[in-house]
Structure formats: structure tokens, C-alpha cells
């Protein structure tokens, strides 16, 4: 009997005994909610990216929400961002009562096109929310030049970008330093490192960091750690509306171990991406992702644009039938039922805009990226034989 061929997943978190022991450490301490492990994770994360402050929260969506609140986004405002991102990016704008104004992407990097930003800045524009899509850094210098001219804050959705780097004034610096005003990260299992779920905000602004810490814990004036360690009775107060956006100490303990392994994880992913490049370069019509000279991606995902003759869903189904998981290109929020025409803008006056549900000519590159690309398996534990199986399968399907 032939040996059964195992399925190859799209991603797999890299967790081991060190993370299990760290979780046990937190559990056995008796302090399992936000506490000393969270504080340690924040210090170590800030040091890794080169930020003055890091604040841990429950996930990246809550991080984005707090970041937008901190920079002053209010009901009735507009925030310039991309539709081509997981829906959480646009949702965080709407949580503030504001309107996302969608800008198209560059087809090479799948990131916001800086040349289109200035066209949609208006009287109600309050902030620019960029996305380092799939770990590839945005063209930050061009974006920040525009933001500074118009005195607009820049929030970085760096959900996928932990470990990515950008060439800044002749030096390689980590995404999250931050180069904009606030950067937000995710520790979901699909990301390069994980805490099960979780998020982080980094900033150099101490007042914003203080505000994050109040908001994440219902606006409580005295943190649990201070109150429980006090020698005198302390009554906390709640001077503002807050949220339950805390990270647990169990998660943070795991995150601290993951952060130690991040350099080796990124190095392995870069090696696997180089193998994909070398072995897929000769497939007619298949377009591989590009990395600008000023960027080093962590390669959270490896996205390829299919040849014109290939139908996305058929390719994905053929690979799935052969035991290889893929994902379609990154979604577009403006195509989802939750985003009716009234829930977003492409920068054109509503009276003359010809956008229809799920279709906008001004977002054509975003729509093509969703429809014409697929994401291939990529994870730290991926073996070379597994990767070769993915490569040969895709070659066979694309060349039929």
C-alpha cells in the first residue's frame, strides 16, 4: 500500500516546548490576566522594533481602533486607506464613526499607491491609515511627505509586518519604530509570530501610550497590578469611556518566547521565498511578488499573479484536490455586503460617483489583485520536499 500524502496547509504557527513552558509559567504564577508578563512583552517588543513605547492589546483590530481614536478621528471624519486589506482595516475606521476613503494599490507591491493619496484629501480628512500588506513595507517616505504637507497623522497597519525592515536615512530599520505616528501589529496564528491572538501598538508619543493603557482597561484610573500590590486600600475610578481590550499574561508569556525566535523565523521564510522565486521564474505568464530595493519583507505571505489563461478558483480547487491549500488574493472591503455605497468613498463626490456595489473603476488594481492572485503555502516548518511539491503542482496546473 502506498504511503498517504499529507496535506500542506497555507500556514502553520511555529510553537514548541519553550512556548508551552512559558504558558505554564504564567498559569502557575496565579496571575493569568494582564500583568507582569504583558509588561515584559511590551518592553521587549519596543526594544526589538526601536520604539519608545509599546502597548499590548487583545488583537490588531482593537489596536487600530485605539490608534485612530488617539490621533483624533471622530464621527463624520474621513480616513484615507485601502480597500485591499482584511476587512478589519476599514472596520476600525467605522468604529470611530468615520468614513473610509479607499485608494487603489500598486500592482507590484499590493500596497497603497502614494501618487493617489493627495487626490482624495479633503476638508474632512483626519488621518491616513496605510497597510504593509502581507509584510511588504509601504513607500513610507513618499506617504509621510504628503502627510506632513497636509498636517495629517499616519497610522501604520503593520498587522503582517513584524520583522520587516525599511531603508531609512541609509540604515535598515524595523517596521514599528514607528516611522509614522502609531504602528499596529497582529499576533494571530496566520502571522509570523503568534500569541493565539493579540495585538500591539508602538509609538514615540508618551501621551498616546498613556491613553492606550487607560482605554484598553475600561478607562480604569489604577491598573490591577498597582491596586493588588498596594499596602493601602485603593479605590479606582473610571474617568472616561474605555474598552475591554486587554491581552492576558498567558498570551504575553508565549509572545516573549516567539519574539526570541523571530529572527530565525524570518530568515527561514526569506530562504523559502528565494526558492519559490528560483523555481517559479520560468512559468509563462506567472508574476512573482517584487521587493523594492528599500524594503525587506518578512514574507508573511507569498502571493503570485496567475497567467491570464488560468482561472483563480479552478487553480485553487485543483491544488486543494491534490492536498495543497491556497488562498485567493487579499480581499477588497468595498466588495463586501457590509460596505454599501454609503459606507465608503473613493474620493469622488457622491452625486457624480458611478461606483456600484462590488465594482469601482478607481479601485481596479485592488479588484484585479483579489481576482487574479493566489497565496501559496509558506511557514517556518515547511520542508524543501513540501515546497517542491507545491511548485511542481502549480507548474503543472498553469502549463496545461
Which tops the pLDDT comparison, 180 or 227?
Answer: 180
Q: Per-residue pLDDT for 1 more than 60?
A: no
- Kindly report, residue by residue over 268-309, the tens digit of the pLDDT: 999 999 999 999 999 999 999 999 999 999 999 999 999 999
Task: Report the C-alpha gap between 326 and 298 in whole angstroms.
Answer: 19
- Kindly report, residue by residue over 81-94, the tens digit of the pLDDT: 999 999 999 999 99
- Kindly report, residue by residue over 102-132, the tens digit of the pLDDT: 999 999 999 999 999 999 999 999 999 999 9
Q: Per-residue pLDDT for 224 more than 90?
A: no
Q: What is the pLDDT of residue 358?
A: 73
**Domain spans of the chain?**
17-399
Task: Report the C-alpha gap between 340 and 64 in whole angstroms.
Answer: 22
Contact status, residue 363 vs residue 102, Cβ threshold 8 Å:
yes
Q: What is the pLDDT of residue 227?
A: 66
Helix or strand holding residue 186 (H, E): strand 182-186
- Kindly report, residue by residue over 158-181, the tens digit of the pLDDT: 999 999 999 999 999 999 998 999
Q: What is the pLDDT of residue 4?
A: 54
- Model confidence band, residue 330 (pLDDT cutoffs 50, 70, 90): very high
Residue 56: Cβ-neighbour burial (10 angstroms; 0-12, 13-18, 19+): buried
Task: Report the C-alpha gap between 96 and 153 in whole angstroms.
Answer: 15
- Kindly report, residue by residue over 127-158, the tens digit of the pLDDT: 999 999 999 999 999 999 999 999 999 999 99
- Kindly report, residue by residue over 32-81, the tens digit of the pLDDT: 999 999 999 999 999 999 999 999 999 999 999 999 999 999 999 999 99
Query: Of all residues in the chain, what percent carry a pLDDT higher than 90?
Result: 87
Q: What is the pLDDT of residue 229?
A: 73
Instruction: Please state which CATH number belongs to domain 17-399.
Output: 3.40.640.10
- Chain mean pLDDT for the chain: 94
Task: Report the C-alpha gap between 47 and 256 in whole angstroms.
Answer: 12
Q: Beta strand pairing status for 295-296 and 199-203? A: unpaired
Q: Per-residue pLDDT for 316 more than 80?
A: yes
Q: Per-residue pLDDT for 230 more than 80?
A: no
Q: What is the pLDDT of residue 2?
A: 44
- Model confidence band, residue 350 (pLDDT cutoffs 50, 70, 90): low
Q: What is the pLDDT of residue 372?
A: 97
Whole-prediction pTM value? 0.94
Q: What is the pLDDT of residue 351?
A: 63
> Residue 298's closest CA among 131, 160, 109?
160
Helix or strand holding residue 185 (H, E): strand 182-186
Q: Per-residue pLDDT for 5 more than 80?
A: no
* Alpha-carbon separation of residue 295 from 170, 253, 261, 291, 376 (angstroms): 12, 30, 21, 6, 21
Query: Of all residues in the chain, what percent carry a pLDDT higher than 70?
Result: 96
Q: What is the pLDDT of residue 347?
A: 83
Amino acid at each position: 500500500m502506498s504511503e498517504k500524502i499529507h496535506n500542506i496547509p497555507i500556514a502553520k504557527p511555529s510553537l514548541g516546548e519553550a512556548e508551552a513552558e512559558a504558558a505554564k509559567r504564567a498559569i502557575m504564577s496565579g496571575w493569568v490576566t494582564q500583568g507582569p508578563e504583558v509588561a515584559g512583552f511590551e518592553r521587549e517588543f519596543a526594544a526589538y522594533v526601536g520604539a519608545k513605547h509599546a502597548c499590548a492589546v487583545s488583537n490588531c483590530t482593537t489596536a487600530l481602533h485605539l490608534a485612530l481614536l488617539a490621533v483624533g478621528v471622530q464621527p463624520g471624519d474621513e480616513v484615507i486607506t485601502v480597500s485591499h486589506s482584511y476587512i478589519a482595516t476599514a472596520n476600525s475606521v467605522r468604529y470611530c464613526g468615520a468614513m473610509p476613503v479607499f485608494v487603489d494599490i500598486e500592482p507590484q507591491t499590493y500596497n497603497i499607491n502614494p501618487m493617489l493619496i493627495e487626490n482624495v484629501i479633503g476638508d474632512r480628512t483626519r488621518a491616513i491609515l496605510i497597510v504593509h500588506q502581507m509584510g511588504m513595507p509601504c513607500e513610507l517616505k513618499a506617504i509621510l511627505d504628503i502627510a506632513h504637507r497636509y498636517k495629517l497623522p499616519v497610522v501604520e497597519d503593520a498587522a503582517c509586518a513584524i520583522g520587516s525592515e525599511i531603508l531609512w536615512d541609509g540604515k535598515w530599520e524595523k517596521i514599528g519604530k514607528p516611522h509614522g505616528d502609531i504602528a499596529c501589529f497582529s499576533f494571530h496564528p496566520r502571522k509570523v509570530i503568534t500569541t493565539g491572538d493579540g495585538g500591539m501598538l508602538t509609538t514615540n508619543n508618551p501621551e498616546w501610550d498613556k491613553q492606550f493603557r487607560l482605554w484598553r482597561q475600561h478607562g480604569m484610573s489604577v491598573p490591577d497590578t498597582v491596586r493588588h500590590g498596594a499596602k493601602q486600600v485603593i479605590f479606582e475610578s473610571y474617568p472616561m469611556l474605555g474598552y475591554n481590550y486587554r491581552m492576558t499574561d498567558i498570551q504575553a508569556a508565549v509572545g516573549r518566547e516567539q519574539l526570541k525566535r523571530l529572527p530565525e523565523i524570518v530568515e527561514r521564510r526569506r530562504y523559502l521565498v528565494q526558492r519559490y522565486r528560483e523555481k517559479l521564474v520560468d512559468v509563462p505568464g506567472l508574476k512573482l511578488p517584487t521587493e523594492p530595493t528599500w524594503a525587506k519583507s518578512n514574507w508573511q505571505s507569498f502571493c503570485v499573479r496567475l497567467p491570464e489563461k488560468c482561472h483563480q478558483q479552478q487553480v485553487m480547487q485543483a491544488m486543494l484536490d491534490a492536498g495543497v491549500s491556497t488562498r485567493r488574493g487579499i480581499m477588497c472591503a468595498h466588495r463586501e455586503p457590509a460596505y454599501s455605497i454609503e459606507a465608503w468613498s473613493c474620493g469622488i463626490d457622491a452625486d457624480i460617483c458611478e461606483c456600484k456595489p462590488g465594482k469601482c473603476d478607481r479601485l481596479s488594481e485592488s479588484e484585479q489583485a483579489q481576482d487574479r492572485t493566489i497565496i501559496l503555502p509558506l511557514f517556518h516548518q515547511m520542508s524543501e520536499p513540501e515546497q517542491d511539491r507545491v511548485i511542481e503542482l502549480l507548474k503543472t496546473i498553469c502549463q496545461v
